[in-house]
Structure 1
Amino acid sequence: MDGQIKTIPFWMTCFSHYISKCLLISIYWSCGLGGGPILHTIIVCSLYRWYSYADDRIIKQITRKLVEDHQIFVCSFLGNTQWLIHLFRIYGANIGNNVILPDFSSIFDYNLVTIGDHVRLNINAHIVCHTFEQRILKLVPVTVGNSCVLMSGSIVMPGCKLMGNNRLYPFTLVMKNDLLQLNTQWKGLPAQSYVAKPILFRSAPVCDDVVKCQQKSENFDRLSSWYEKFSNIYTNVHELQFMNWGYADLDEHIDDSTGYYSKKLYQQVLADVTLTAQNILEVSCGRGAGAAWCVRTYAPRSYVGIDPSQDVINLCEKLYSTIPQLSFMIADPKTHLSFENESMDVVLSIETTNIFDEIVAVKQFVNEVTRVLTPNGYFLWCGLCNVDGSSVLIDYLTANDAFIIGEKVNITRNVLHALDIQSNSRADFIDRYMQPADQEYCRLLAGLPGTQLYDNMQQGRAEYWRAVFCKKTTKKTPIV
């Protein structure tokens, strides 16, 4: 009788389970932990393509059990790697380059999914191509265009088309057959178009009236307050050691909570400049993890980290006071650096651009850096630049006669990639340790996807550069 539910005999279930487990043990017994997963994957991929044409119920059950075991023993370790992408492609999914999927359950109905380049799915984000409607299974393809980001808990239903550079905020549900236009953001259940409100506004480089000066002062005071809170909120050295955005090669995809990508940013900024047996000054050293790593890795003669926040410096001293050659002190880089003339071989500035929006502060800072650097000393810098020419610090440094530009490299794509990889762990940290009223601003400071700073980079309004400046020997050092 049509429509009647067919039961599977108990003996058949036991038999198929026994056979599948014998096959599983045989695979790993014969090939070991190294070759077992490879052979298991080959068998499962072969059976998957043949499964739809098989008529024997026992064979189908054995195949299903092998697939379930493969998801447990192999697929669980493939999340956020390109191996998972290759597996989905074998299953029939059309997936572009530089795509990150968190786990095997991210997509269903593989042969109906088309994903473009540079797409990111966060944990518990799903692309679904099937629905059951009035006992009828309906399958409709889903297309996700280039550079789309699906944040945690977001779901794309069958028939949807994301045209490109779309952003789905957490727990967003895109309904069946929805068309998301290019360069749009969506939020809610069901999804509705969303325009993120800017949190920070850049003031003009020069304050030409009292109101503008007051607004600028309030912005900087607020930024400093949040930066200090973000730096000092948690004192466990094993979590959130680094505060910079990080650098990742475009083929790296593993989320690492030990500061791996932040260390790589330091390596990029250092370029070919050696720190060994040199006197180093780091401006706005944050929690001090970068300074400690540089001392342990490069063995400088001395390394001084400065920061205008007393609480931040106290934290640095608490965490790293036992490391020789490393010291921390309170200093405001916008006013005066309390070091002797030509006493530093290298000055490091990692992501300190935001505190130098006023030309007066920029000139003072550059003059101080020039004063404390030895002849042929290096000023190593990285940070965000606005393409509209309003990035005062880097423009002033580039045009300054005191320095020779040794190297200037655009690393925007690598920084964006690092932010994508670390977005889950950093968002989780903010959710756990920051007050709800503070979280949105902290996400901005952390450069998380969906924030204004991240969007500016992704959409080409801002670029992330690193640069090496060498002090000219002919420049006379001012006497203090």
Structure 2
Amino acid sequence: MLIRLAVFLLESSPLMRRLLWRWWYGRLAQRRQGADWTFMNYGFVPPAGAAALALDPSDETDRLCIQLYHRVASATNLAGKTLLEVGSGRGGGASFVARYHRPAQITGADFSAQAVALCQKRHAAVAKLSFVVGDAEHLPFPDASFDAVLNVESSHCYGHIEKFFAEAARVLRPGGWFLYTDFRAATDVPAWHAALAAQSDWEQVALEDITAAVTAALEADDARKRKLIDDFIPPAFHHLFGEFAGLVGGQMHTGFRTRQILYHRFAFRKK
């Protein structure tokens, strides 16, 4: 079964969905630990005419993925703030935000212990950045612990999305920001938006449909991803990893291109 498609097919079993993703991300952390792979999102191509994001040459390879993080994080000024990223994965996004958006402290939380161990080793030199094992539906932090909560292309893995939204609101300080982006099948978007609106502790500040910009990023990054899969993944797993990576012509890319799957960016502020 294709790993991304499984998300939509297992809606009746939140527990199975959580177990599936926990196993998958743990396996990825064990199989591939090279420093050349720190991002796992689909990327973002800025609108025509937008000023190019200035990056250090060492970050240029990951520009498309970084631009998605930058688009989400730039909804507010994070300088000097205390930030939590839920679903920090391989840590590239948290590292970028720590180095470019200058928060006072950023904590990455992920439910995969293998991924957290990988991040603790790989990003140890990044100042004001730490990683912990944490469940998005039961965050291991006191109330009102953070000025901002960041979540990038991760929530589709969760068993009970409403529990995550409640936890994000709980750990935010008054006036804090929930900076969020992800995708859903077009038929599921109304329920997704309703779950966000049901959190009475926050109010929506921004909503942006970035489906076309994500589709463009998949197409721009296709050749690089195909080479990585050819170089590092056993042939028997090429099709599976190709779907996971959103390769052009696959089910995820086609879903975005035909708008059967939509990708939205949000910003909410706690009252």
Q: Per the shorter chain, which TM-score range? A: 0.7 to 0.9
Instruction: Measure the CA separation in 2 of the matches of 1:450 and 1:223.
Output: 23
Match of 1:282 in 2: 85
2:126 equivalent in structure 1: 323
The answer to which structure, 1 or 2, has the higher relative contact order (CA under 8 A, 6+ apart) is 2
Number of aligned positions between the proteins:
260
**Structure 2 length normalisation: TM-score?**
0.87
Listed one character per residue, the Cα deviations across residues 128-155 of structure 1 (whole Å, up to 9, x for unaligned) are xxxxxxxxxxxxxxxxxxxxxxxxxxxx
Q: Per the alignment, do residues 299 and 331 of structure 1 end up closer, same or farther by CA in structure 2, a change over 3 Å counting?
A: same
Q: Which residue of 1 aligns with 2:185?
A: 386
User: How far apart, CA to CA, are the structure 2 residues paired with 1:351 and 1:399?
Assistant: 21
Structure 1 Cα separation of the partners of residues 210 and 30 of structure 2: 28
Label 1:202 to 1:390 Cα distance change in 2 as closer, same or farther (>3 A). Answer: farther
1:201 deviates by 5.8
> Identity of paired residues, percent?
27
- From 146, 166, 191, the equivalent of 1:344 is 146
Match in the other structure for 1:245 = 42
Which secondary structure state, in structure 2, belongs to the residue aligned with residue 247 of structure 1?
coil
Q: TM (normalized to structure 1)?
A: 0.51
CA contact (8 A) 1:404 1:471 kept: yes
Q: Is the alpha carbon distance of 1:407 and 1:251 closer, same or farther for their aligned partners in structure 2, counting shifts above 3 Å?
A: closer
Gaps of 5+ in 2: 50-58
Name the structure with the higher helix share.
Answer: 2
Give, as a single letter, the amino acid of the residue that structure 2 aligns with 1:234.
Answer: R
Deviation string, structure 1 residues 192-212 (Cα, Å, up to 9, x no partner)? xxxx9x94362475x4xxxxx
Which residue of the partner structure matches residue 55 of structure 1? none
Q: Which amino acid aligns with 1:202?
A: F
Q: Give the 3-state SS of the residue equivalent to 2:72 in structure 1.
A: helix
For residues 115 and 84 of structure 2, what CA distance do their matches in structure 1 show?
Answer: 16
Shift of 1:324: 2.2
Query: Structure 1 428/407 Cα, relative in aligned 2: closer, same or farther at 3 Å?
Result: same
Matches within 5 A, 1:250-265: 258-265=61-68
1:342–1:371 CA contact under 8 A, matched in 2: yes
Could you tell me how far 1:222 is from its partner in structure 2? Answer: 3.0
**Who is 2:105 aligned against?**
302
User: 2:176, 2:93 → 1: CA distance?
Assistant: 20
After superposition, give the CA deviation of every residue in 1:342-385 in whole Å (9 maximum; x if it has no partner): 110000000013223x4xx2232122111110001110111102
Task: Show the counterpart of 1:445.
Answer: 244
User: Which residues of structure 1 form unaligned runs of 5+?
Assistant: 1-195, 208-212, 473-480
68, 73, 80: which one aligns with 1:270:
73
Q: What is the CA distance between 1:427 and its match in structure 2?
A: 1.5
Equivalent residue for 1:459? 258
> Any idea what SS the aligned residue of 2:8 has?
coil
Aligned to 1:202: 8
SS at match of 2:221: helix
Residue in 2 aligned with 1:224?
22
Structure-2 separation of matches of 1:419 and 1:222: 24
What's the counterpart of residue 171 of structure 2? 372
Query: In 1, Cα distance between the equivalents of 2:25 and 2:191?
Result: 21
Q: Is the 2:85–2:107 contact (alpha carbons within 8 Å) kept by the matching residues of 1? A: yes
Separation (CA, whole Å) in 1 of partners of 2:161 and 2:17 = 17
Q: Does 2:110 align with 1:312? A: no
Per-residue displacement from partner, 1:83-105 (whole Å, max 9, x unpaired)? xxxxxxxxxxxxxxxxxxxxxxx
Match of 1:408 among 198, 207, 211: 207
SS of residue in 2 equivalent to 1:457: helix
One-letter code aligned to 2:26? E
Distance 2:74 2:92 in 1: 19
Tell me the C-alpha RMSD between the 2 structures: 2.3
**1:456 Cα offset (Å):** 1.0
Provide the secondary structure at the position in 2 that maps to 1:416.
helix
8 Å CA contact 1:378, 1:470 repeated in 2: yes
